[in-house]
């Protein structure tokens, strides 16, 4: 039986199937109102983990979620990410792991989300130009000050995870991963061994000839959609996986969340497990 909840860091309980807010339009008008309705519907349907980032509109996505959901329902966790900033000179986005930049983004994130503390903060990318100890040390200082509850990382290797865990307690990892994209399987295995939450981004399989046809065949057997089968596979693949599929449409949101009710048979799971070898 697939478990439906997970405790991030051992104490922050969430439903395993979350929501990624990156795709929500934030410009004023009908598109923004539709985004507000999608975010509210996600919570109505039981989502307790919503993922955003400073990168998503330079904080506009965070502001949108606060507009839609504040005051937040009991048990709702909005996790955000820092470490990518827009250059004041060129206007281009790039890695910025300087302690002062990370602190500024966290403080802005708290203001935009209308919270005093970000319960789960993730470093969007490790900045190779700044010593890792300085980046993580800055986040740890914010944690000691009470502005950050727990710390996670994104797009890291097993070696980077190991080095990071010598400096801070890492409670989550957000890497690209899906039934057809298992490059980070070793990272997932390390997370599972340490009971670290693994949040796959781009969790729904893309179009790959042959492999997607097999996913569709499994979906047809179960009376489900290929998207639901892909998410159900993730939920059953490891108990530490917390998928965060994103969409700007309520019908797609409802389809995604219904994946929690899809039960793959051992034969279907074996068929899907072998897809990675064909991609």
Residue 63 contacts residue 109 (beta carbons within 8 Å): no
Q: How far apart are the C-alpha atoms of 98 and 129, rounded to whole Å?
A: 9
Instruction: Kindly name the residue from 56, 177, 198, 233 that is annotated as catalytic.
Output: 56
Which CATH superfamily hosts domain 5-204+239-248? Answer: NADP-dependent oxidoreductase domain (3.20.20.100)
> How many whole angstroms separate alpha carbon 1 and alpha carbon 4?
9
Mean pLDDT confidence for 33-62: 97
CA 159 to CA 203: how far, in whole Å?
A: 23
Cβ of 165: how many Cβ atoms within 10 Å? 15
pTM for this entry:
0.95
Q: Is a pLDDT exceeding 90 seen at residue 278?
A: no
> Can you tell me the distance from the alpha carbon of 42 to that of 24, in angstroms, rounded to the nearest whole number?
12
Task: List, in sequence order, the alpha helices (H) in the chain.
Answer: 30-44, 60-69, 99-113, 132-144, 158-165, 185-194, 211-222, 226-237, 250-257, 266-273, 275-278
Sole residue written with tokens 């970000």: 118
pLDDT at 279 over 80: no
**What pLDDT is stored for residue 208 in this prediction?**
61
What's the average model confidence in pLDDT over 155-175? 98
Identify whether 72 is a catalytic site residue: no
Q: What is the pLDDT confidence band of residue 209, given thresholds at 50, 70 and 90?
A: low
pLDDT tier at 87, thresholds 50, 70, 90: confident
């Amino acid at each position: 039986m697939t478990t439906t909840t997970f405790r991030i860091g051992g104490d922050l309980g969430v439903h395993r199937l979350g929501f990624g807010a990156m795709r929500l339009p934030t410009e004023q008008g009908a598109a923004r109102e539709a985004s507000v309705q999608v975010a509210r519907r996600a919570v109505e349907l039981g989502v307790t983990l919503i993922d955003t980032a400073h990168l998503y509109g330079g904080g506009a996505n965070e502001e949108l979620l606060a507009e839609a959901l504040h005051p937040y329902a009991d048990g709702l966790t909005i996790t955000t990410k820092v470490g990518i900033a827009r250059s004041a000179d060129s206007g281009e986005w790039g890695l910025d792991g300087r302690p002062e930049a990370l602190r500024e983004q966290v403080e802005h994130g708290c203001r935009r989300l209308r919270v005093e503390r970000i319960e789960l903060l993730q470093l969007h990318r490790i900045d190779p130009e700044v010593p890792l100890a300085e980046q993580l040390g800055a986040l740890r200082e914010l944690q000691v000050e009470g502005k950050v509850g727990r710390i996670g990382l994104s797009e890291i290797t097993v070696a980077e995870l190991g080095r990071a865990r010598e400096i801070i307690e890492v409670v989550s990892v957000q890497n690209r991963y899906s039934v057809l994209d298992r490059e980070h399987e070793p990272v997932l295995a390390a997370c599972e061994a340490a009971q670290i939450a693994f949040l796959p981004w781009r969790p729904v399989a893309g179009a790959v000839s042959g492999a997607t046809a097999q996913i569709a065949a499994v979906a047809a057997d179960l009376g489900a959609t290929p998207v639901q089968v892909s998410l159900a596979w993730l939920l059953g693949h490891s108990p530490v996986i917390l998928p965060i599929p994103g969409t700007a449409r309520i019908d797609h949101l409802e389809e995604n969340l219904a994946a929690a009710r899809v039960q793959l048979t051992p034969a279907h799971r074996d068929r899907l497990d072998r897809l990675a070898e064909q991609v």
